[in-house]
Chain A
Amino acid sequence: NAGVTQTPKFQVLKTGQSMTLQCAQDMNHEYMSWYRQDPGMGLRLIHYSVGAGITDQGEVPNGYNVSRSTTEDFPLRLLSAAPSQTSVYFCASSPTGRGANVLTFGAGSRLTVL
């Protein structure tokens, strides 16, 4: 049981480049989300999804797109990378119902934009 898998673990981009951070979970969780973590800023919600075909914006959505075509996958797309997007990105998931308040996190993806 792999849990939440994020790829890549590390990435360096140049300003203006685009890329996709992958997130997959094998726990049949309905809820999936992306957070970014910057020093002293805690975890800020970028986008989230409550099921396949449903996505919504979080606290800091600008510059990012998401889609949820399957229950398992929730990729995060950076459309035109900027140095302000240098951060550690975490994908997290939870079931609905009784366990909805327990997030399982991936190991993180460290992104540097030059």
Chain B
Amino acid sequence: KQEVTQIPAALSVPEGENLVLNCSFTDSAIYNLQWFRQDPGKGLTSLLLIQSSQREQTSGRLNASLDKSSGRSTLYIAASQPGDSATYLCAVKDGANNLFFGTGTRLTVIP
């Protein structure tokens, strides 16, 4: 069964810093990988989706990379802002259309 791990579990950075969140998965036979943002007590907002054939996706200050063979993805956030504070979840989709989630990284950006 696919297992998704995210490290670190929590991260605090001062405003303006660039940062990287990590995601690893055990089975490289994935169809896509998705990064989500979740604010406390709220649902998930999709940030970036990378197809298995792609290496990276960019949206504004966010850049996600995918190395399928090594089972790794990173989410790079440039020039962090207090509004970026949230939990970031990584999820991979398998051939049976199931999404497997990590437990998330809780990010705090300190003003």
A binds B: no
Q: Which chain B residues have a beta carbon within 8 Å of chain A's beta carbons? A: none
| Residues of chain A at the chain B interface (Cβ within 8 Å) | none
